[in-house]
């Protein structure tokens, strides 16, 4: 199976361009979710080891752990979807192309929804802990 080539050429059709842009976008989503995975691991660690009773630690921890599962689920789905996109080069009609484009739009909505919920959760956490940490003095 050939991978979708992301370099843009003068002879590319609008559909070719759409597939290439979508491939780049998908790669960025995956990279971002991998970063969020690391960030969530750090936030869970902070809540588990460093927060004591400064905030409702158990509730925050549970929300972060739930978000970890959701992030992993979406990340795994996007990786599988990325692999399935190798078949785009085999499309011979507009209907086939539209299936991939429609599927991509669905994943875009899922990604943006997940990102919005994650940002809200993280913002809420930082509002709760604002002023709760002592800053280390640099000597």
In a domain, residue 8? The reply is no
Ordered alpha helix ranges (H), the chain: 14-49, 57-84, 94-129
pTM for this predicted structure: 0.82
User: Out of 3-12, 20-29, 68-77, 127-136, which region has the weakest mean confidence (pLDDT)?
Assistant: 3-12
Task: Please give the residue range of the domain that contains residue 83.
Answer: 16-127
Q: How confident is the model at residue 5 (pLDDT cuts 50, 70, 90)?
A: low
In a domain, residue 76? The reply is yes
Rounded-to-integer distance, Cα 58 and Cα 97, Å? 47
In a domain, residue 11? The reply is no
Q: How many structural domains compose the chain?
A: 1
Q: Average pLDDT over the chain, rounded to whole?
A: 85
Tell me the pLDDT tens digit for each residue of 82-102: 999 888 888 888 899 899 999
């Amino acid at each position: 199976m050939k991978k979708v080539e992301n370099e843009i050429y003068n002879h590319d059709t609008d559909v070719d361009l759409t597939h290439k842009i979508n491939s780049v976008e998908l790669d960025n989503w995956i990279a971002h979710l991998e970063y969020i995975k690391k960030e969530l691991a750090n936030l869970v660690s902070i809540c588990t080891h460093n927060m004591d009773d400064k905030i409702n630690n158990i509730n925050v921890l549970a929300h972060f752990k739930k978000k970890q599962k959701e992030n992993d689920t979406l990340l795994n789905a996007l990786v599988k979807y990325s692999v399935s996109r190798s078949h785009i080069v085999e499309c011979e009609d507009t209907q086939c192309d539209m299936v991939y484009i429609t599927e991509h739009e669905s994943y875009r909505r899922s990604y943006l929804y997940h990102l919005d919920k994650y940002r809200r959760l993280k913002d809420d956490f930082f509002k709760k802990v604002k002023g709760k940490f002592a800053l280390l003095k640099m000597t």
